[in-house]
Structure 1
Amino acid sequence: MINLLGGAYPWVKAAHVVFVIFWMAGLFMLPRYLVYHQEGLGDRSEEARWIDREAKLRRIILTPAMAVVWVLGLLLAANAGLFDAVPGLGWLHAKLLLVVLLTGYHGWAVGYGRRLARGVATLSAKRLRAINEVPALAAILIVVLAVVRPF
């Protein structure tokens, strides 16, 4: 399915980049929200505010953006020949692996937020802050793979 998108390719690619930005913004915000939510445990009104903020972030930005990123990304991958065994797409395989891992991180963060909503905190604040850096590292690697295409 090489050149599946024809003249729509630049528009699909632009939309993909826009929704990646939205998704990454949400992935940068949610872990920080989790830190503040965890710090507010024990204060009912504070907990309620963080539960509401996290739910809105998930519902309005994070999950819809991730879904669009996946749909458009798979269209772009098909356009590049990923499903037709086109050689020279090692960079794309690596990028997709990182996106799968980032999707897992997204799921973990959503799950941890739900645990916090039940009052269960299993990570130290320091560890939670460190985990907050995962999306930035993933973004750096994904951009390098997509732009440089090292293999």
Structure 2
Amino acid sequence: MTDWLASVYPWTKAFHVMAVISWMAGLFYLPRLFVYHAERGTSAGEPRESLKIMEYKLLRFIMGPASIATWVAGLALVFTPGIVDWTMVWPWTKATAVLAMTVFHHWLMIERKKLARGEGSTGRRYRLMNEVPTLLMVVIVLSVIVKF
């Protein structure tokens, strides 16, 4: 049943890497847009309206599809025979970090709606939150490459 996954493994892995890059680009950029929105987009008109459109489109048309593609390809890799040894620590640290990344993505969606209503947080908070995907990326990459 899963033998076909082994035959398409290089393609699945390549698709997964491309999807992750797209998702991560959005996870790095959206909090920065939130900083601009919180600090410069407080009054009606421009740049507030432009920032709202940019934030929505980044989430809806880039980050959403990229996160789904990342999960689909990632799960395909998990179910490919011989790829993941669940007796080791690294798959668990990676899985935990990916789940945390997904939670962060959903937090960004909530914050975008708050900002659109004029209820967002401070630029300082968004600057701090901008570091979250970097820290999670470090855990994920070290887990997969170093296999600690």
Residue ranges of structure 1 left out of the alignment (5+ in a row): none
Partner Cα separation in structure 2 for residue 48 and residue 33 of structure 1 = 12
CA distance in 1 between partners of 2:25 and 2:10 (Å): 23
- In 2, Cα distance between equivalents of 1:147 and 1:3: 24
- One-letter code aligned to 2:58: L
Query: Which residue of 2 is the match for residue 138 of structure 1?
Result: 136
Contact 2:34 2:123 in 1 (8 A): no
- The equivalent residue for 2:9 is 9
SS of residue in 2 equivalent to 1:149: coil
Match of 2:100 in 1: 101
Q: What's the secondary structure of 1:138's corresponding residue?
A: helix
Instruction: Indicate the residue corresponding to 1:90 in structure 2.
Output: 89
1:119 equivalent in structure 2: 118
Q: 1:54–1:106: structure 2 CA closer, same or farther, 3 Å change rule?
A: same
1:31 deviates by 0.5
SS of aligned partner of 1:45: coil
Displacement after TM superposition at 1:89 (Å): 3.6
Per the TM alignment, residue 47 of structure 1 is displaced from its structure 2 partner at its CA by: 1.3
SS of alignment partner, residue 46 of structure 2: helix
Distance 1:78 1:124, change over 3 A: same
| Cα distance in structure 1, aligned partners of 2:86 and 2:68 | 27
TM-score by length of 2: 0.91
Verify the 8 A CA contact 2:30 2:58 in the aligned structure 1.
yes
Q: Report deviation, 1:143.
A: 0.4
Is it true that 1:149 corresponds to 2:142 in the alignment? no
What displacement does 1:87 show?
4.5
**Residue in 2 that maps onto 1:31:** 31
Shift in alpha-carbon separation, 1:88–1:4, aligned structure 2, 3 A: farther
SS of 2:80's equivalent in the other structure is helix
TM-score between both structures, scaled by the size of structure 1 = 0.89
Answer whether contact 1:82 1:89 (CA < 8 A) is retained. Answer: no
Gap change, CA 1:124 and 1:87, over 3 Å in 2 = closer
1:58-93 CA-partner distances (Å, limit 9, x unpaired):
12210000000001101101115689xx55342112
Q: Identical aligned pairs, as a percentage?
A: 39
Q: Distance in 2 between matches of 1:141 and 1:80?
A: 24
Q: Compute the RMSD of aligned alpha carbons.
A: 1.9
CA distance in 1 between counterparts of 2:99 and 2:27 reads 14
